[in-house]
Amino acid sequence: MGTHMKTTIDISDALFASSKTLAQQQQTTLRALIEEGLRRVLRDAQANTQPVFTLKDARVHGQEILMSDPRDWQQLEDDHLSERIVQGAP
């Protein structure tokens, strides 16, 4: 286990009293309660810093392409290839 550092913190009397009462109810120490709270805050802060994946907007001319049947995608691809051949694109 890691080393421990002794420190002093200033908190309000009301917060101290509530924390002490909760620690007694949970049959733990105030130190353990504070450490658990700090771990939660640090874990939440780390979770919030990870980038969130966002799907790129791929609408065509501002409109969505809605196809109920996945087989329609084959027709869409065939139409696209035909169009490129007619235009002479590589």
pLDDT at res. 33 = 94
pLDDT bracket for residue 1 (50, 70, 90): low
Name every residue whose Cβ is closer than 8 Å to that of residue 22 and which is 6 or more positions away in sequence: 33
Q: What is the mean pLDDT of residues 3-27?
A: 92
Given a cut of 80, whether residue 88 has pLDDT beyond it is no
% of the chain at pLDDT higher than 70: 82
Angle, vertex CA 79, rays to CA 74 and CA 85, nearest 5 = 125
User: pLDDT digits over 35-52, tens only?
Assistant: 999 999 998 888 777 667
Query: Under a CB-based contact definition with an 8 Å cutoff, are residues 32 and 23 in contact?
Result: yes
What's this model's pTM, rounded to 2 decimal places? 0.49
Q: Which of 56, 55, 60, 89 is nearest to 76 (CA)?
A: 60
Q: What is the mean pLDDT of residues 65-80?
A: 74
